[in-house]
Structure formats: structure tokens, C-alpha cells
Chains A and B, each alone.
Chain A
């Protein structure tokens, strides 16, 4: 029988929740990396026992962890040191060095700061790890300050795909209140050369040549918090998602507005429809129904909690515009948690499971596409990310 493994990153460590296909009884393992923020944990689609985790701390910086046994044991894939220029070790799994080479990196020295001055790019942490769809040793990392890195040796070393920051608009990117992080990486299963990424608060970008060159894909987005609401860049995208069978259709939860594109980002249109508020962080797509999508509306960008204290997932079976509230099993009074951008995922069992985590430490699961929910763990530290693996 199939099993489900839920990978949870929290403010104070990582947890792994496992269940059989019934998804009624859950075993909780962890905490792993106790006391550290774990921004993201994700498994390789090509080898489900290969997991990658981003372990980070304001004190000690960034650590990349890797597991080869589904999370039972972990290692830092650093390997032996290799002395580099000036005696600085290179080739380490925790080193994310921006490309400053004359050929590709020279112009990439500063970006826009809050006071309209230019500010040096400074690495802070890895927000998102996206393993390749086909190779367990290839993994992408989205980092703050925004850049995209790739490892082709299982996380031992990382190289920036500098064409993203260097395509031209990089000096005009600026951070949102939560920093300038690259948080979404979507790989096209039908075209290995195509990757979508999203940055808060620069916008969405796409490459069609495996990461060498990039272009903004923000036409149709409208953001009233920037001087030109229809600008080419500057949009605060919170999350994007796609269905593997239809990779030119992408759904987006923007700071405000739920959007979709059907032409790989060349144009977007709003599908917020009858949502009670179109602010939120998460968005995801049903495993078997490409037009069924989920969001968790949040009251506003200053009040990061559900409207009226009622925690409600909204589902659209029409690809947006027409939404229904899903409430069965979710708290409908006095609930003031948030659901952060990385904290929703789906499994691929016949009856699609939907999962999300909250800043209150609950992880909720629905084994029936959202019709009913229950907490599969209640009292974790604030949940930063949720990923799901469906294992044979």
C-alpha cells in the first residue's frame, strides 16, 4: 500500500510525518536540526529517499543538509576542503557565492534598497530547494538576496545561474518587508530548458534555455503599492504553482490578487472572483485535476490572519473565479494563525490529499481533496514549509 511522507520545516527544526494511504494515523519524527529555522525540506522526484533541507540561523548562517534514507539520517555534503584564492575554502555545500566574474557577474553588484539607494547583494539564506525531476544529484536553490543557484553534485557545491540577476532589471529589484527572497522554482516536466521562478518583490521570471537567459513575465499583474502598478518588475509574488500535465498554465497568489496564465507567463489575468479577500500566501493545484486549485485567504497585509478568525481553505474547480469555502474540520472561531507561502502541498494518491501548516504549529490534512480536514499534528513550532511525498 502507498505511504505518504510529509516534510515540515519550522522555526525551530524539521519534522517528518508518515502515514499509510488511509492517512488517518500519523507518526511524527523529529525534531531534526533542533533550534534552527528550517525554511524548506524537499525530496527528489527521481529518488524519494534523497531529501534536501535548508537549515538556517541568524547566528550561524546557512547549512545544507542531505538525506539518502528518507530522512532517517542526515549529512552535510560538504566533503573535504579545497583551498581557493587567498586561502578561502571553496567547493562547500554551505557556500553560496554570487557570481562576480567579469564575464557574467560584473554588473551584478547592487540592487535597489528601501531608501532608493543601491545596496550590495548579500547572501542571507536559502528559502527554497527544488530537486531536479530526473536527477537526484541536481537541485536548485532559491536564496535571499534573490538569486538562483544550482548544484549538480548532490549539494556539495553550488553555482549561481547569474543570467537571472544579470538580465537587466536586477539593479531595480528591491526587498519586500520579509526580505528579497527567491521562493518559487517550477520545473517544466515537458521541457527541461524551461524554469519559472518568483521573487518577492521583483516578480516572476522565465528561462527557456536552462537558466542562461531570463526575462520578466509579469504582463497583466497590477500592484498598487508600486509607483507604476503595471510595471515590468516590482510585483510582490507570494507563490506560484502548476500542474505537471499542463506546464504552460501557472497559478499565482500575489500579495493581493490570485492570477493565472495559460501562455507560460506571457500574460496573466486575475481569477480572484468571489474570494472574500484575495490576499494570501499559498496556492496549489490538485494532483489529478489541473483546474482545481486551492488558496487560504488572509485578511490583509497588515493583519496576517484569516478573515473573522475562521480558518478556511478556498477551492476552485474552474481554474479560478468561482470559489467555495472548505471548512469541515477547520477552526471556525478564534483562529488567528497565518499560512506562509511554502506551507501547502498535495499528495498524488487516487483521492488527492491536501496539506497545509500554520504559524500556530498545526499541520492540517484533507484526504478527500479538501472536503474535510483534520490536524495531523497540532503543536509544532511555527510552520514555514510543507512538502509531501507519495511513496509506492
Chain B
């Protein structure tokens, strides 16, 4: 199972706890993980990726295994530790003051 950690606001929106676990068929990539996430929680559609372009929203980043994977191609394999469930895939909101 893939583990995903969402920002607080998206946890509230999806009514989930600190961590979401997902079954992902085929290669474990940003795209396949987010597809599985949105399929299970439709209210998250458009909140992480643009509805139509499927591009990552500008103020969000993707981290895993102490790496910033935000600029990796969406079909690139995620680290083995994410695919095995040893490490979570983190969706992070940019910090902002005020």
C-alpha cells in the first residue's frame, strides 16, 4: 500500500486522518498515486493538480525520502521506499505568513 500525507486543509476536505493508504496498480508514479487518490476522494480533484492540464498547482510540492520530487516527470517511478510503503509520499503546501 502507498502511504500519502496531505496538507491539513485537504485532510479536512477529504475527511481523512494524518495519513491515507492507497492501492496503486502498475508502476508507482506521481500520476498513478494521484489518480488513485482522486478516485477515492473525488473532492480532491483540482486541489493538487489542475483539473484540465493535470499540472501540479503552483503552491504545492511533492516530497518523499527527503527529496523534492516536484519537478520530476509525472510518469517517473517514485522511490522504491514509497512503492513499498516504507516511506510516505508527501503533498506539501508552500508556507506563507500573514
Contacts and interface: CB of A to CB of B under 8 A. Distances in A.
A81 B51 CA distance: 12
Contacts of A97: 51-52
A95 B45 contact: yes
Contact of A81 (B45, B50, B54, B93): B45
A89 B45 contact: yes
Interface stretch (A58-66, A169-177, A297-305): A58-66
Interface size class on chain A is 20 to 34
Nearest to B98: A11
Interface in A51-109: 57-63, 76, 78-81, 87-89, 92, 94-95, 97
Interface stretch (B9-17, B19-27, B66-74, B82-90): B9-17
A35 interface: yes
B43 interface: yes
B33 interface: no
A375 B7 CA distance: 35
A59 B9 contact: yes
A36 interface: yes
Question: Chain A: interface secondary structure?
Answer: loop
Contact of A78 (B42, B52, B54, B93): B42
B45 A92 contact: yes
A59 B7 contact: yes
Contacts of A60: 7, 9-10, 13, 47-48, 57, 60, 93
Given A76-B43, A81-B38, A88-B51, 6 more contacts: A62-B46, A63-B47, A80-B42, A92-B51, A97-B51, A97-B52
Interface of A: 34-36, 57-63, 76, 78-81, 87-89, 92, 94-95, 97
Interface of B: 7-10, 12-13, 35, 38-39, 42-43, 45-48, 50-52, 54, 57, 59-60, 93-94
